[in-house]
Amino acid sequence: MEQSDPSVGHRVILEYQREHGDRHFRRHGDLSRERVEGFRFLFAELGLEFSEGIEAKIIGHSPAGKPATLNRDSASNISTWKRRLAASEIDRIREETQDLPREYYTDDSWT
């Protein structure tokens, strides 16, 4: 079976960023880790009102420590791959994505 390049998605994103500088790109992990502040910033960039009701919806749909079918613990969700993959798989992905800019994967991302 042929193995796919795990960095292909990020390469496409980088291309889109270069071609469409007027668009807004955010890393999933950043929004998961700092969901309220991340969305507050994104709303401001887009010129949208960020109300208390919107904040409550964000918190209600991603409660920390309480994963569910549709409501997720966003901060914990970003590291589930570390428990699901074998060390050799993580090493392979890290090796094949090492030429991506550090804004995608810092050394801390792998621990």
Beta strands in 20-83 (DSSP E): none
In a domain, 14, yes or no: no
What confidence score (pLDDT) does residue 98 get? Answer: 75
In a domain, 68, yes or no: yes
In a domain, 85, yes or no: yes
In a domain, 2, yes or no: no
What confidence score (pLDDT) does residue 29 get? Answer: 80
Q: Can you give the pLDDT of all 111 residues of the chain as single tens digits?
A: 455 665 677 778 888 888 888 888 888 888 888 889 999 999 998 889 999 999 998 888 877 666 555 556 767 777 788 887 888 888 887 887 777 766 667 777 777
Domain range for 61 is: 24-110
C-alpha distance from residue 69 to each of 13, 61, 62, 66 (Å):
28, 10, 11, 10
In a domain, 7, yes or no: no
Q: Residue 77 corresponds to which amino acid?
A: N
The count of domains in the chain is: 1
Which pTM value belongs to this model? 0.50
What confidence score (pLDDT) does residue 53 get? Answer: 92
Structural contact between residues 32 and 75, judged by C-beta atoms closer than 8 angstroms: yes
CB atoms within 10 A of CB 62: 20
